[in-house]
Amino acid sequence: MSLPIESLKSYFPIFTHRPELVYLDSAATSQKPSSVVQSITNFYEKENANVHRGLYELSSKATQRYEDVRNKVGSLIGANSTNIAFTKGTTESINIVAQCYLKKNLKAGDKVLISAMEHHANLIPWQQVCKQTGASLEIIPVNDQGELVLDGLKSLLAERTKLVAITHISNVLGTINPVEEIISAAHKINIPVLIDGAQSVGHMPVDVKKMDVDFLVFSSHKMFGPFGTGILYCKEEFTQQLDPFNYGGGSIKNVQFAETEFLDFPHNLEAGTTNIAGIIGLGTAIDFIQQLDLVETFNHERKLSAYFKERASTLAQIQFVGEPKNFNGIVSFLVKNIHPHDVA
Ligand code: PMP
User: Does the structure show a pLDDT above 80 at 1?
Assistant: no
Model pLDDT, residue 17: 98
Q: Using an 8 Å Cβ cutoff, are 186 and 84 in contact? A: no
Model pLDDT, residue 307: 95
Pick the atom of ligand 1 nearest to 91's CA: 16
* Mutational test site, ligand 1, from 90, 117, 142, 218, max ligand atoms within 8 Å of CB: 90
* Stretch 63-78: mean pLDDT: 98
Residue 91 Cβ inside 6 Å of ligand 1? The answer reads: yes
Cα radius of gyration (the chain): 21
Model pLDDT, residue 338: 95
User: Does the structure show a pLDDT above 90 at 344?
Assistant: no
CA of 260 to the centre of ligand 1 (A): 33
User: Does the structure show a pLDDT above 80 at 212?
Assistant: yes
Taken in order 157, 158, 159, 162, the sign of the CA dihedral is negative
User: Does the structure show a pLDDT above 90 at 158?
Assistant: no
The burial class, CB within 10 Å (0-12 / 13-18 / 19+), for 131 is: exposed
> What are 85-121's pLDDT values in tens digits?
999 999 999 999 999 999 999 999 999 999 999 999 9
Give, in order, the Cα–Cα distances in Å from 332 to each of 21, 122, 264: 20, 20, 43
Model pLDDT, residue 159: 84
Give, in order, the Cα–Cα distances in Å from 201 to each of 118, 173, 285: 16, 17, 12
> What are 14-28's pLDDT values in tens digits?
999 999 999 999 999
> What are 258-296's pLDDT values in tens digits?
999 999 999 999 999 999 999 999 999 999 999 999 999
- Name the closest-CA residue to atom 8, ligand 1: 28
